[in-house]
Structure 1
């Protein structure tokens, strides 16, 4: 079997408000000229980086689907803008939509492509899809809310299932404004081991995701906040429920049985998107692409190819 073709590159991205030249780093698995429709993957966070989505390369090696992963602006190997920390007028959904459009054009695939988005990436994918881009063929929204208010309510229900001493640590640091402490981070991790990724020990690519945010928390802290359930950033009031009927691409919805994206936060997509299919992974939380990798790849490939 021939070795898998992998290429890396950077796309120039004009962002006048940045005050400097910006680039989007990307990696392509497979050949974009093969004739097979490519899938572009949108990572979560915001600010998590592409690393934890590397298992999507199985779609290329096993099913011949070219896959593009990239680091969104402010993350990983793309341009960092730590001087914009806390600037909610700069870090906007529109910025990341323009970056996606720019990359699609740079790669020359804007006329025919599929989108996969996990968590924040699914929110971004939905925002892209409601604009009805002509080239979008199929959409996968994985482990994503349609309304951040509902997300926080659901996450706090899960939080109340943590041991009381862990809940006490979380509340104390949130009340004291010390969410950057190692004690708070350790308490948050007990939530993540239940509802973010249940693989033990944590896979290297998930550790790399956490490292991306720790090395530069600019985007995550500005748009989200200190943790998945303590949302203080600009996304806290985001909702797309009333616009979901505009999505005309066939859409696959995914979540896990133990997901922080609980059924109640995924349900609006199923109710409002015209052509929607929903699959729940019974042994997974927020990352079924790692927790049930083989089944996940089978489900995704069938949706994209058939």
Structure 2
């Protein structure tokens, strides 16, 4: 039986004047911070929490990489603001960029860190990297869209592969504005079982992460919309294609063969980022860190460690 990894949890104050109250960001450090360059993980959603990325502790065990996970504002154990439902002027990309910078400073790692973003977390991470922060050394974009227009196009294509009755159910409830109905949610689950996570039953940490959207849908509904493929929120027109060429650190681009983030969705990153490697997992959908866990950790770990050795 393997020895439990060292893990420290904490909270950092995050000043957001528009919130009307003091906000806090919850975080967890797995491994020994200071032993080598840490990896900061950005979860998806927006509005799930860190739990489904806890498996990244495999990197700590295998490569001695400290992993930092945190819950973004409005999710998990960080401050919730349900009174801000629908407030697109509050729930902005800049809010979450500021929160990330605040956490990096609090932990004292702003001068030397790697970043892994999954799905929405990769969107956030790519925007962070575009600003060329001096401390960022490597970027991993896991199943993340470069452009939401392409994401929507890809989801529409995947929907056509579902049975006709499921497609009809989705269409009906989206047309009628009844996406909260049990019938709609059941049809959504069919889509998710093919393109979100192909493991049955779904891993418990992922169930927990997605469960936070049910507990507090504020961020997800405001920024995304009712589902992964029905995008009505403020991120609908999001794109980083025009700025991706400014990402100046070695970047690892990941997606799965059955991923919501189809090749067309991530390809602009590959075309625009100067120093980039692209790996597609043959048996995975959107959760390759579970679906092909061992290979995922090997690909990410070797990228972070070997590239650093090359630089040194």
Quick check: TM above 0.5? yes
Q: Please report how far the alpha carbon of residue 61 of structure 1 lies from its aligned counterpart in structure 2 after TM superposition.
A: 1.3
Residue 26 of structure 2 corresponds to 25
- Find out whether 1:269 has 2:269 as its counterpart: yes
Q: Deviations over 1:256-297 (max 9, x none)?
A: 000010001110000000000000000000010000000000
For 1:38-187, list aligned pairs within 5 A.
38-187=38-187
Q: Deviations over 1:229-264 (max 9, x none)?
A: 100000000011010110001000000000010001
Structure 1: unaligned runs, 5 residues or longer: none
SS at match of 1:227: coil
Q: Please report how far the alpha carbon of residue 2 of structure 1 lies from its aligned counterpart in structure 2 after TM superposition.
A: 5.0
Q: Deviations over 1:146-181 (max 9, x none)?
A: 110010001110011100000111011101100011
**RMSD value, Cα:** 0.7
Residue 297 of structure 1 corresponds to 297
Structure 2: unaligned runs, 5 residues or longer: 307-312
1:51 & 1:166 partners in 2: Cα distance? 30
SS at match of 2:8: strand
Residue 207 of structure 1 corresponds to 207
SS at match of 1:25: strand
Residue 230 of structure 2 corresponds to 230
2:277 & 2:4 partners in 1: Cα distance? 34
Q: Please report how far the alpha carbon of residue 3 of structure 1 lies from its aligned counterpart in structure 2 after TM superposition.
A: 3.4
Q: Please report how far the alpha carbon of residue 48 of structure 1 lies from its aligned counterpart in structure 2 after TM superposition.
A: 1.1
2:61 & 2:303 partners in 1: Cα distance? 17
Q: Deviations over 1:25-84 (max 9, x none)?
A: 0011001122x1000000000011111111100001121000001000000000000000
2:221 & 2:137 partners in 1: Cα distance? 33
2:138 & 2:32 partners in 1: Cα distance? 19
SS at match of 2:198: coil
Residue 15 of structure 1 corresponds to 16
1:33 & 1:112 partners in 2: Cα distance? 10
4+ long deviations beyond 4 Å: none
1:279 & 1:210 partners in 2: Cα distance? 26
1:92 & 1:55 partners in 2: Cα distance? 28
2:255 & 2:74 partners in 1: Cα distance? 27
1:42 & 1:210 partners in 2: Cα distance? 15
1:48 & 1:254 partners in 2: Cα distance? 20
| Aligned positions, number | 305
2:283 & 2:4 partners in 1: Cα distance? 32
1:253 & 1:11 partners in 2: Cα distance? 30
Q: Deviations over 1:103-153 (max 9, x none)?
A: 000011000000000000000000000000000000000001111001000
1:266 & 1:234 partners in 2: Cα distance? 20
1:185 & 1:209 partners in 2: Cα distance? 17
1:56 & 1:235 partners in 2: Cα distance? 27
Residue 282 of structure 2 corresponds to 282
